[in-house]
Amino acid sequence: MVKISEIKYVRPDKDEVLAKLADFKRRFESAQTIEEFYAVHDEYKQYDEQMGTNIRIAFIRFTQDTRDEFYAAEQDYLDEIGPEISVASAAICNCYLTSKFRKQLEERFPKVMFTNLQMAVDANDPRIVNERVEENKLTTAYTKLMSTIVIDFNGEKLPMSGIRKYFTDGDRQLRKAAYMAFGQAIEDNKRQLDELYDQLVDVRTRMGRKLGYDNFSPLGYLQMQRNCYTKEDIAKFRANVLKYLVPLVCKIRKKVGENLGIDKQYIYDDAVFTKEEPKPIGTPEQIFANASQMYNQMSPETGKLFDTMVESECFDVMSREGKWGGGYCEGLPAYKLPFILSNWNGSAGDIDVLTHEFGHALEFYKSFFIESEFLSSISMETAEVHSMSMEFLAYPWLDKFFGDKTEEYKFYHIGGAVSFIPYGTIVDYFQQTCYDNPDMTPAQRNEFYNSIEKQFLPYMTTEGVPAIQDGRRWQRQAHIFESPFYYIDYCFAQFTALQFLALSQQDYKAAFDKYIKFLDYGGTKTFTELLDACGLLSPFEEESFKLVVASCEKILKL
């Protein structure tokens, strides 16, 4: 069995890759029969899987230690050549769109694939290759900056991800001190953060305008594969979040305040839902053993995948200096293996991220066997349903991780899930406004962020916390720098996952079967088509908010 650490990385030679892709394009265009076209398709799929796996191995090793000079240099190199390869790959996508065999292709591949291929072609226009290179360098610079910040706190030297374990501590003064130190770290780096985001907004705006748009937003939507909803739909969702979910969150926070004896809630109270934080029990090794039991009991498929990933060293979960501060699941199609990186810090979030990323892993694994997935991947809001719903579907086994704190964890977890949606909506609203108004100054951006945070999170204040009180909380949100417009997807997914929670409370097996059905479709349907096919509610309809709020109030006993 292959181990991730043993997979050999070979630097892709840009000229060789471009020549190979050009040859594939020529062969697609010169195919005389549909059988000949399919033969090239099969060969291209294998090549794409090998190349994609190789590039992802470099990314994985860079994020495992951003101080590693070899893989840092490789990541810089891949950032440099990536845009040209994307353009060449988009040209191959265009072969499917313009083929004289289009009718036969539409009989073999799902309709949405052609929609997504067209979006990929439009988003990877060769006119913006130079700007893409510039953008890649800036996002890598942000990753490096945030990964190298070390905070001296409570006798420890902590990365930005590491200090967050104190945000849920039962000692309010310790939480406050941790947030003060966290805010000060952002304050100390605010000039570089402002400059990086200024430059990113500028280069992305130039890309959008080069393609004939007023700003970056339409291009950003193409990049995010928004194939079934619009900016106006998102605005409708935002309005309903304000109307229905913000009052629900205020009820949750009121109950938390009463339980904790807190009259005025600050940002350092925001992640606390119970008197004592429900921390996971056992060592990391014991947690993995319990997770193996859980997934083997959940279904044969989930059990086999989890155990295979452990044996293949597909988990890197412990926080350490130099490690990239976030969490992700990446797919290695050549080996049919998902890989998970996260930063455990001893908090309840360790279990959240374990189950969340495993939901992604299950989706990745299933997608390896769907023929069209390498051409037309699952859209992000759909993928996040897989991960967020898995967090809730782990509920019957929570006692393995939290023992007698299981009920406290449920309140923390459900309360946090509901409370996240207004925050996630803020992140998207902020980005939409920044790209629609690219001439905003850093001060204007911070002022706007502060104003919408007060609107969507009216129950708490940031006053007194360095940087955060000035509207800079957004600067620690990596998605805003690295993946523009990738955040509202989490909100739609969380909304859908809450439906799976409600269904699982009524009939767990039926809910799990519906979840597997949702995954089995992969990227063969759009998000809204998937909801309809699986009998789930749309987040764009007001009625769905009423039902979700009623369900959450019942579960949380509000």
For 226-262, the pLDDT digits (tens) are: 999 999 999 999 999 999 999 999 999 999 999 999 9
Residue 535: count other Cβ atoms within 10 Å of its Cβ.
Answer: 10
Query: Beta strands 337-344 and 328-332: pairing type?
Result: antiparallel
Residue at 557 is within a domain = no
The amino acid present at 309, given as its one-letter code, is M
| The two structure tokens encoding residue 138 | 């800036």
- The span from the CA of 365 to the CA of 309, in Å, is 11
Structural domain for 438, as ranges: 137-276+417-482
pLDDT of residue 180: 97
User: How far from the centroid of its chain's Cα atoms is residue 99's Cα?
Assistant: 34
Q: Residue 431: which CATH number?
A: 1.10.1370.10
470 and 515 in a single domain? The answer is no
Q: Do 111 and 155 lie in a common domain?
A: no
How does pLDDT run across 463-485, given as a tens digit for each residue?
A: 999 999 999 999 999 999 999 99
Residue 258: partners with Cβ closer than 8 Å, 6 or more residues away: none
3-state secondary structure of 195: helix
User: Under a CB-based contact definition with an 8 Å cutoff, are residues 435 and 205 in contact?
Assistant: yes
**Are residues 142 and 196 in contact, defined by beta-carbon separation less than 8 angstroms?**
yes
Whether residues 28 and 119 share a domain: the answer is yes
Give me the number of domains the chain comprises. 3
Give pLDDT, residue 517: 97
- Answer whether 447's CB lies under 8 Å from 430's CB: no
| Token pair listed for 390 | 């898995």
Q: How far does CA 508 lie from the centroid of its chain?
A: 26
Question: Is 546 a member of any domain?
Answer: no
Residues 121, 113 contacting (CB under 8 angstroms): no
Radius of gyration of the chain from Cα atoms?
23
Domain end among 104, 135, 166: 135
Write out pLDDT tens, residues 333-345: 999 999 999 999 8
Among candidates 64, 58, 66, which has minimal Cα distance to 11? 58
What does DSSP say about strands 150-153 and 156-159: parallel, antiparallel, or unpaired? antiparallel
The encoded tokens of residue 156 equal 């420890």
What would the DSSP string read from start to end of 102-134? HHHHHHHS-HHHHHHHHHHHHHT-GGGHHHHHH
Look at residue 377 in the predicted model and tell me its pLDDT. 79
Judge whether 547 lies within some domain.
no
Report the distance separating Cα 330 and Cα 499, nearest Å.
26
Do residue 24 and residue 123 come from a single domain? yes
The rounded distance, in Å, linking the Cα atoms of 167 and 267 is 9
pLDDT of 521 above 90 = yes
CA distance 186 to 414: 29
**Residue 45 near residue 369 (C-beta atoms within 8 A):** no
Please tell me the predicted confidence (pLDDT) of residue 324: 87
What 3-state class would DSSP assign to 207?
Answer: helix
Query: Per-residue pLDDT for 306 more than 90?
Result: yes
Statement: residue 288 has pLDDT above 90: yes
| 549 lies in some domain | no
Q: What is the pLDDT of residue 222?
A: 95
- Structure confidence by residue, pLDDT tens digits, 200-210: 999 999 999 99
Structure tokens at 41: 């398709």
Q: Are residues 69 and 205 located together in one domain of the fold?
A: no
Q: What is the DSSP secondary-structure string of 458-498?
A: TTEE-TTSTTGGGT-GGGG-HHHHHSTT-SHHHHHHHHHHH
Q: Residue 555's pLDDT is what?
A: 87
Instruction: With cut-offs at 50, 70 and 90, classify the pLDDT of residue 276.
Output: confident
**Does residue 47 lie within any of the structural domains?**
yes
Do 151 and 126 reside in the same domain of the chain? no
Domain boundary pick from 135, 166, 186: 135
pLDDT tier for residue 15 given thresholds of 50, 70 and 90: very high
> Which pLDDT score is estimated for 345?
85
**362 and 440 within one domain:** no
Residue 490 lies in a domain: no
Q: Span 21-39, mean pLDDT?
A: 98
The candidate with the shortest Cα–Cα distance to 366, out of 375, 377, 356, is 377
Classify residue 555: in a domain, yes or no. Answer: no
Asked if the structure places residue 436 within a domain, the reply is yes
Which two tokens mark 339?
């890989």
pLDDT tens, position by position, 106-148: 999 999 999 999 998 899 899 999 999 999 999 999 999 998 9
Same domain, 69 and 189: no
- pLDDT confidence tier of residue 274, bands split at 50, 70 and 90: confident
Q: Model confidence at 511, in pLDDT bands (50, 70, 90)?
A: very high
Q: What are phi and psi of 85, to 5 degrees?
A: -65, -35
Phi-psi region of 410 (alpha: psi -120 to 50; beta: other; left: phi over 0): alpha
Query: What span, in angstroms and rounded, lies between the C-alpha atoms of 545 and 34?
Result: 48
Statement to judge: residues 314 and 393 lie in one domain: yes
Distance CA 479, CA 483 (A): 5
Q: DSSP state, 373?
A: G
Cα diameter, the chain: 76
In the chain, the N- to C-terminal Cα span, in Å, equals 50
Q: Are residues 398 and 499 in the same domain?
A: yes
- Contact (CB, 8 A) for 529 and 228: yes
How much is the mean pLDDT over the chain?
Answer: 94
Residues 304-324 have a mean pLDDT of 94
Same domain, 148 and 128: no
Are 14 and 32 in the same domain?
yes
